Structures are given as structure tokens and as C-alpha cells.
Amino acid sequence: MSMSNKPTDPKELNRLLRECNDFIRNAKTEWEQDLKECQKDLEDATAELSRAEKEYQNELMQALAENYSEAQIASLKQIHEEVIASCKKNKQRAEEDVQKAQEYLAKYPELLAQAKADKERIEAQLAIREPQVNGGVKWAINIGFWVIVIAVFLKACG
């Protein structure tokens, strides 16, 4: 989270403070869970690729044993090559996802320190703004009260 724009609106500051607190409390657990899910997806994609390759080999052996024509074998080969290519793409995506998840976890200590520093800055800004906001409200209430008192007094006298 970047504090370079430094919002001054209390609502925005409170929203940013909630985000910092959520990150501090939950990010590591969520990212570890994401990594586990990515690793599971990679295992599934690897198993699926292995199954597709074995199925291709089995069907090719069966086709050769049953004396399929060259056209039938070419068609079988094309279909299985497309399936295997798709499985390889899925596996590659899963590998990339695992790598990204590992990179996020590696950056966590740095991001946690930044979130804690941002939280402290936001809390300081809120602490500074709080008296200004409350002070303004108190003045408005006091002025309103005295306006009413004077109006009642003048009406009573007049």
C-alpha cells in the first residue's frame, strides 16, 4: 500500500486502516493457502498429462495391433497430440502459478513491514484529524445552542 497520495478524508483513512489491518492479520495465511492450491493444481495437471500420454500410447499400440489404416492412425495421433498439448499448457500455467505464489510469500516480510508502517502513519493522521473534526462539531453545537438561547431571550423580551 502506498501512502504517497496521503488522503486526508477520515473515511478514506479508516478504509486504508482496515485494509492494513486485514493484510497484517490475513495475508500470510491466505497466500499460504493459495500456494497449497496452486501446488495441488500442478499435481493434478501433471497427473492429467501423464494419463493423456499413457492413453495415447495404449490406443496407438491397440491401433497397430488391429492393423488400423494410416489415415486412422494419423487421425488418432492428431487427436491425442491436441489433448497432450492442452495438458502441457495447463501444466505450464500451474507451474507459473506456483512460482508466483512462492514469490508473493517471499515478499511477505517486506510487505508486512510496509503495512505496519502504513498503519502507524494512518493512525497518526487519524489522531491528528480527530480533534479537528470533534472540535468543529463542538463549535457548531455551541454556536447553535447560543443562537437558540438568544432567539428565545429576544422573543421573550419583545
CB-based contacts of 122, cutoff 8 Å, min separation 6? 3, 13, 16, 17, 20
pLDDT at 61 over 70: yes
Give the pLDDT band of residue 3 (cuts 50, 70, 90). Answer: very low
Predicted pLDDT at 128: 81
Give the per-residue pLDDT at 7.
64
The rounded mean pLDDT for the chain is: 86
Tell me, yes or no, if the pTM score tops 0.75.
Answer: no
Spatial separation of the C-alpha atoms in residues 32 and 22, rounded to whole Å: 15
